[in-house]
């Protein structure tokens, strides 16, 4: 399969929210992705299946009108603002299979969520999403990357350990669905030459194992 990474757009919200619900069905309230995309501290990346096109559902404008067929063509003519005052972004046709989000604050990039569609799991895509976060965090002049992970999620902990995350604390009862603790894991300095060499080695190993080249993140 062929995949590519790019920045999340407002047109992606429906698909990303679907993936979020599938992965974090007990999380309440769910993430408000409209708000996240407006947040200058937040950064979201999606991974898309280059061989599949997303089905576009019938979408309703804020006034309740369906936006299909002729209305879609009118929207292309008039831009975002439709006659009558309705404003809407059509859903993306790119088939999104996973996403990752993080906040960059001062010297720290904090990963808030990372998820992959169930049908696409165990194919190296979670790791594929993790790598550009570290790269982008460095571009944003942060040196520390942190996240929380369930104490029971041994597979995720092994992945993070592989990338140099170490446990630095525990958030008691962090997960509200069952009161499970969250381990705080952190990479202490992603700017070190030794870490960057390790990261490059991991990228090459991932590419050889899964046959997925780590492409540049497009906007």
Q: Assess whether 148 carries a catalytic annotation.
A: yes
Say which of 148, 174, 175, 180 is annotated catalytic.
148
Comparing CA positions, the residue from 104, 107, 129 lying closest to residue 116 is 129
What's the start-to-end Cα distance of the chain, in Å?
21
Q: State the burial class of residue 149 (Cβ atoms within 10 Å of its Cβ: 0-12, 13-18, 19+).
A: buried
Say which of 3, 44, 120, 160 is annotated catalytic.
160
Comparing CA positions, the residue from 62, 13, 5 lying closest to residue 37 is 13
Residue 45 near residue 96 (C-beta atoms within 8 A): no
Catalytic positions, please?
A: 148, 160
């Amino acid at each position: 399969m062929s995949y590519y990474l790019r920045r999340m757009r407002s047109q992606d919200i429906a698909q990303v929210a679907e993936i979020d619900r599938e992965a974090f069905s007990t999380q309440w309230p769910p993430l408000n992705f409209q708000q996240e995309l407006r947040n200058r501290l937040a950064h979201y990346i999606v991974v898309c299946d280059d061989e599949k096109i997303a089905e576009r559902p019938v979408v309703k404008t804020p006034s309740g009108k369906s936006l299909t067929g002729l209305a879609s063509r009118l929207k292309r003519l008039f831009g975002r603002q439709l006659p009558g005052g309705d404003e809407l972004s059509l859903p993306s046709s790119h088939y999104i299979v996973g996403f990752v989000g993080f906040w960059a604050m001062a010297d720290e990039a904090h990963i808030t969520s990372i998820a992959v569609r169930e049908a696409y799991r165990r194919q190296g895509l979670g790791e594929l999403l993790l790598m550009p976060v570290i790269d982008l965090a460095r571009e944003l002049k942060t040196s520390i990357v942190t996240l929380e992970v369930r104490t029971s999620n041994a597979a995720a902990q092994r992945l993070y350990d592989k990338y140099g995350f170490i446990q630095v604390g525990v958030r008691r009862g962090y997960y509200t669905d069952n009161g499970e603790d969250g381990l705080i894991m952190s990479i202490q300095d992603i700017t070190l030459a030794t870490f960057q060499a390790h990261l490059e080695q991991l990228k090459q190993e991932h590419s050889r194992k899964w046959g997925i080249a780590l492409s540049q993140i497009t906007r």
